């Protein structure tokens, strides 16, 4: 158990064009810029909140 926090893989599956301004900001805050791009982020409450907010734009899986 060397790591204290897990990781989440997040993939952008729908374009944020036409979404609310704060939802587009959450997508960028997760590090996603292009369609079908995936990033691995730390599993924190802030990241979980961003993923929950834009769950209709992204696909996530716990690593």
- Check which CATH number belongs to the domain holding 42 and give it: 3.30.1390.20
Q: Taking the model in full, what pTM does it have?
A: 0.85
Q: List Cβ neighbours of 35 (8 Å cut-off, separation of 6 or more).
A: 12, 13, 15
Number of domains in the chain: 1
Tell me the residue range of the domain where 30 lies: 7-62
pLDDT tens-digit readout, 4-55: 579 999 999 999 999 999 999 999 999 999 999 999 999 999 999 999 999 9
- DSSP label at 56? T
pLDDT the model gives residue 40: 97
| Whether 14 contacts 37, CB under 8 Å | no
Q: Is the model's pLDDT at 58 over the cut of 50?
A: yes
Question: Greater confidence, 3 or 40?
Answer: 40
The Cα 61–Cα 25 span in angstroms is 21
CA atoms within 13 A on the CB side of 14: 11
């Amino acid at each position: 158990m060397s790591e204290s926090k897990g990781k989440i893989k997040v993939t952008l599956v729908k374009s944020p064009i036409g979404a609310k301004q704060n939802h587009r900001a959450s997508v960028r805050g997760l590090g996603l810029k292009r369609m079908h791009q995936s990033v691995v982020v730390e599993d924190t409450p802030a990241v979980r909140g961003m993923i929950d907010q834009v769950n209709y734009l992204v696909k996530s899986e716990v690593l």
